Amino acid sequence: DTAVSQTPKYLVTQMGNDKSIKCEQNLGHDTMYWYKQDSKKFLKIMFSYNNKELIINETVPNRFSPKSPDKAHLNLHINSLELGDSAVYFCASSQSWTGYNEQFFGPGTRLTVL
Amino acid sequence: KNEVEQSPQNLTAQEGEFITINCSYSVGISALHWLQQHPGGGIVSLFMLSSGKKKHGRLIATINIQEKHSSLHITASHPRDSAVYICAANNNDMRFGAGTRLTVKP
């Protein structure tokens, strides 16, 4: 059983389009995250949700909108895609939002904007 | 300057060698994480520590809170250890180092 799953694994799209990435965890965790890994492999947090409520929103363009329908799901919707959005996006989850909690990562979604 | 600095950036070793990767951080933390990212891209959590030392198989992680420094050691390295190792400082959000790319040659 996959603990944290993401779909799709690969996403190739044209500039200006709107796309979504889905994430689901079956670990019963309260907290979920979205991370972006750029072309230099540097990971950076984008959003964190705890029990469906947004608790971290780093300086991410508001073209990115996370949605958490329940605490097992955190989806990422991106409007008006730009070339610079090309990256690998990782979803993760942890038991709670406090720092001393192991994080479990999804397999990543490689987004390519043409 | 990044809040989390790792060294070296790249490391090549011969099978069997003892390996050390270093991490220094400038932020307050609840925990320091070591992650492994395989060539296929998946990320796995290796260690989470807030003090002292942890060991799992051939991997050992240590942290010195006063000096804000952590090390990841791999004993008897093997080609399957080849991966990118990432240090992350966590104080309710994760700040990542740039990663250390390890290649272990047979």
Task: Using a CB–CB cutoff of 8 Å, tell me whether A88 touches chain B.
Answer: yes
> Over the stretch B64-93, which tens digit does the pLDDT of each residue have?
999 999 999 999 999 999 999 999 998 878
pLDDT of A68-98, one tens digit each?
Answer: 999 999 999 999 999 999 999 999 999 987 7
- The one-letter code for the residue type at A35 is Y
Residue B50: CB partners within 8 Å, gap ≥ 6? A100, B29, B30, B31, B32, B63, B65
Residue B86 to residue A99, Cβ atoms within 8 A: no
Q: Do A99 and B30 touch (CB under 8 A)?
A: yes
Cα separation, A98 vs B93, in Å, equals 8
**Res A22: pLDDT:** 97
A35-57: average pLDDT: 88
Give the gap in angstroms from C-alpha A12 to the nearest C-alpha of chain B. Answer: 17
Examine the pLDDT at A1 and tell me if it is beyond 70: no
Q: Which residues of B touch A48 (CB under 8 A)?
A: 93
Inter-chain CB proximity B45 and A88 less than 8 Å: no
**Can you give A34-86 as a three-state secondary structure string?**
EEEECCCCCEEEEEEEECCEEEEECCCCCCEEEEEEECCEEEEEECCCCHHHC
For the cut 90, the answer to whether the pLDDT of residue A51 exceeds it is: no
| Residues pairing with A16 in the sheet | none
Contact A45 B93 (CB under 8 A): yes
Q: What is the mean pLDDT of chain A?
A: 92
DSSP-assigned letter for residue B81:
G
- pLDDT at position A56 is 79
Beta bridge partners of A6: A23
Contacts 24+ apart (CB under 8 A), A10-13: A10/A109, A10/A110, A10/A112, A11/A109, A11/A110, A11/A111, A11/A112, A12/A112, A12/A114, A13/A81, A13/A111, A13/A112, A13/A113, A13/A114
Does any CB of chain B come closer than 8 Å to the CB of residue A108? yes
pLDDT tens digits, B13-56: 999 999 999 999 998 888 999 999 998 889 999 999 999 999 99
Task: Return the pLDDT at A98.
Answer: 76
